[in-house]
């Protein structure tokens, strides 16, 4: 087009220089339009190519151990091929050290009236190397060898007994250097949740120093967080799921479907906010008044909730509960006999299984599904390996527990339009 117009300009000598330049500008504009169209086609082709990639979880290894009781896996050490299991009874807690071959190597108790007791556990037990583990309890930070011998004890500074602690696989403190990151088990002054202003000053995470006993709470809700809407929220509705590496902290605040990314270094600058576009996330959004239902935190069991977050191979993995629909919320508050409640809860478990979402770094959901035979909230990342707890088949009574090492599996499905 440009050559044609220039030829016309050369023949038609009476055309002004302005006209020639105008035609040149039209030529450049048409060329730009063609370039944009080409780039748009390339972008659409790339989007079609990306959408043809399927990503899933693949079981690559497993560990099985026979166990009768109420076992909870606390931690895994792949390099030593060992894991910690605790049998939690109503009045006892017994620790077992097991290997990947399914053998129970050592068994002992550090609960109750013993001289080296950890007191009331505040987090899951955690390996600190191949031969030792640490307990964060009301009696301090206590380090034991795998035979159960106490190696050191550091008393806690400025410690208040927490009103809750999540003692299960995937919910413990995470290590960075010589410190641990954990969610802050803080509650308002005098335990009064009816003063909604306390939430503005609430610290959500804390650094634990097992060498000194120092506890340093930090991190308030971001300005645009759901929890800043001036409404009332039930206690622990904000309990964080978090991931940490040497540069950043990724955290989701319970019922809020957003990933907040912070710098790992003080003052922990907010680097990125990533909303999560779940298809179904029926979350509690706050109440206008402080009611008995809020105080009794009924909505904790019916609201959507993010339970775990990890990053593997530059993909974000989210475990979450999708929440009840309105009809089931109403039914859950009706008076029921024990038999009726059992039937109702069985229906709920079938209807609302825990889900697993795989996201890219921009928050786009690549796959959202119910993983077969796996408990999503149990995700544990150790030595670059992702481990999850096996889930028993429905109505099955099993006298063993299983752990699975899983990896991300990607399959590229090339359509006929893209074959070379």
Is the pLDDT at 24 greater than 80? The verdict is: no
**Number of structural domains found in the chain:** 3
Q: What is the pLDDT of residue 303?
A: 98
What integer best gives the mean pLDDT of the chain?
A: 86
Percent of the chain with pLDDT over 70: 84
* Stronger pLDDT, 388 or 160, i.e. the higher one: 388
The answer as to whether 390 is a domain residue is yes
Q: What is the DSSP letter of 314?
A: T
Q: DSSP string covering 51-117, please? A: TTEEEEEEEEEEEEEE--S-EEEEEEETTTTEEEEEEE-SS-EEEEEEETTS-EEEEE--SSS-TT-
Q: How far apart are CA 378 and CA 357, in angstroms?
A: 14
Q: Residue 159 belongs to a domain with what CATH number? A: 2.120.10.30
Is the pLDDT at 371 greater than 80? The verdict is: yes
Is the pLDDT at 35 greater than 90? The verdict is: no
Q: What is the pLDDT of residue 1?
A: 45
Same-domain pairing of 250 and 337: yes
Same-domain pairing of 154 and 261: no
Same-domain pairing of 392 and 255: yes
Is the pLDDT at 74 greater than 90? The verdict is: yes
Across the chain, how many H-helices and E-strands are there? 6, 24
Q: What is the pLDDT of residue 63?
A: 95
| Least confident segment among 102-116, 183-197, 275-289 | 183-197
Q: What is the pLDDT of residue 397?
A: 64
Last residue of a domain, one of 205, 220, 235: 220
Q: How far apart are CA 69 and CA 74, in angstroms?
A: 15
Last residue of a domain, one of 204, 220, 236: 220
| Least confident segment among 51-55, 368-372, 376-380, 387-391 | 51-55
* Stronger pLDDT, 2 or 369, i.e. the higher one: 369
Q: What is the pLDDT of residue 164?
A: 79
Is the pLDDT at 256 greater than 50? The verdict is: yes
* pLDDT band of 48, cuts 50, 70, 90: very low
Same-domain pairing of 300 and 384: yes
CA distances from 123 to 134, 159, 164 (A): 10, 14, 10
Is the pLDDT at 3 greater than 60? The verdict is: no
Same-domain pairing of 193 and 275: no
Same-domain pairing of 165 and 92: yes
The answer as to whether 152 is a domain residue is yes
β partners of residue 56? 409
Same-domain pairing of 11 and 74: no
Q: What is the pLDDT of residue 394?
A: 63
Q: What is the DSSP letter of 395?
A: T
The answer as to whether 378 is a domain residue is yes
Q: What is the pLDDT of residue 272?
A: 97
Least Cα distance to 262 among 243, 277, 276 occurs for: 243
Same-domain pairing of 244 and 211: no
Q: Which domain holds residue 83?
A: 69-220
Average pLDDT over residues 335-339: 95
* pLDDT band of 411, cuts 50, 70, 90: confident
* Stronger pLDDT, 51 or 131, i.e. the higher one: 131
Residue 62 neighbours by CB under 8 Å, 6+ apart: 390, 402, 403, 404, 405
Same-domain pairing of 168 and 254: no
Last residue of a domain, one of 220, 247, 268: 220
| Least confident segment among 3-12, 30-39, 180-189, 253-262 | 3-12
Same-domain pairing of 188 and 113: yes
Is the pLDDT at 11 greater than 70? The verdict is: no
Q: What is the pLDDT of residue 43?
A: 44
The answer as to whether 366 is a domain residue is yes
Same-domain pairing of 212 and 312: no
Q: What is the DSSP letter of 190?
A: G
Q: How far apart are CA 248 and CA 245, in angstroms?
A: 6
Same-domain pairing of 194 and 73: yes
Q: What is the DSSP letter of 121?
A: B
The answer as to whether 116 is a domain residue is yes
Q: How far apart are CA 249 and CA 251, in angstroms?
A: 6
The answer as to whether 49 is a domain residue is no
Q: Tell me if 273 sits within 8 A of 222, measured CB to CB.
A: yes
- Look up the pTM and report it: 0.84
């Amino acid at each position: 087009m440009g050559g044609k117009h220039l030829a016309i300009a050369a023949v038609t000598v009476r055309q002004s220089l302005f006209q020639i330049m105008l035609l040149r500008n039209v030529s450049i504009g048409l060329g730009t339009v063609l370039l944009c169209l080409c780039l748009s086609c390339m972008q659409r082709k790339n989007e079609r190519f990306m959408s043809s990639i399927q990503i899933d979880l693949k079981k690559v290894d497993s560990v099985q151990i026979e166990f009768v009781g109420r076992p909870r896996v606390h931690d895994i050490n792949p390099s030593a091929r060992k894991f910690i299991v605790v049998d939690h009874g109503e009045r006892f807690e017994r620790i077992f050290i097991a290997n990947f071959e399914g053998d129970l190597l050592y068994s002992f108790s550090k609960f109750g009236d013993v001289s080296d007791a950890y007191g009331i556990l505040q987090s899951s037990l955690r390996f600190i190397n191949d031969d030792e583990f640490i307990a964060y309890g009301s009696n301090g930070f206590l380090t034991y060898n795998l035979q159960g011998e106490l190696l050191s004890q550091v008393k806690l500074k400025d410690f208040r007994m927490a009103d809750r602690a999540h003692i299960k696989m995937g919910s413990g403190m995470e290590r960075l250097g010589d410190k641990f990151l954990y969610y802050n088990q803080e509650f308002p002054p005098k335990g009064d949740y009816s003063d909604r202003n306390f939430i503005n000053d609430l610290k959500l995470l804390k650094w634990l120093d097992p060498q000194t006993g120092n506890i340093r709470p930090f991190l308030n809700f971001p300005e645009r967080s759901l929890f800043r809407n001036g409404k009332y929220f039930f206690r622990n509705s904000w309990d964080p799921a978090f991931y940490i590496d040497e540069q950043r902290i990724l955290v989701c605040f319970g019922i809020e479907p957003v990933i907040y990314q912070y710098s790992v270094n003080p003052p922990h600058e907010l680097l990125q906010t990533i909303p999560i576009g779940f298809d179904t996330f029926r979350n509690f959004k706050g109440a206008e008044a402080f009611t008995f239902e809020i105080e009794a935190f009924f909505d904790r069991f019916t609201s959507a909730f993010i339970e775990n977050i990890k990053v593997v191979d530059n993909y974000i993995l989210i475990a979450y509960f999708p929440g009840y629909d309105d009809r089931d919320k109403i039914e859950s508050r009706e008076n029921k006999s024990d038999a009726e409640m059992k039937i109702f809860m069985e229906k709920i478990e079938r209807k609302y299984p825990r889900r697993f979402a795989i996201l890219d770094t921009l928050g786009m959901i690549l796959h959202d599904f119910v993983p077969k035979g796996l408990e999503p909230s149990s995700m544990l990342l150790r030595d670059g390996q992702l481990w999850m707890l096996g889930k028993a088949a429905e109505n099955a009574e099993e006298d063993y527990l299983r752990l699975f090492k899983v990896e991300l599996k990607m399959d590229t499905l090339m359509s006929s339009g893209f074959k070379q």
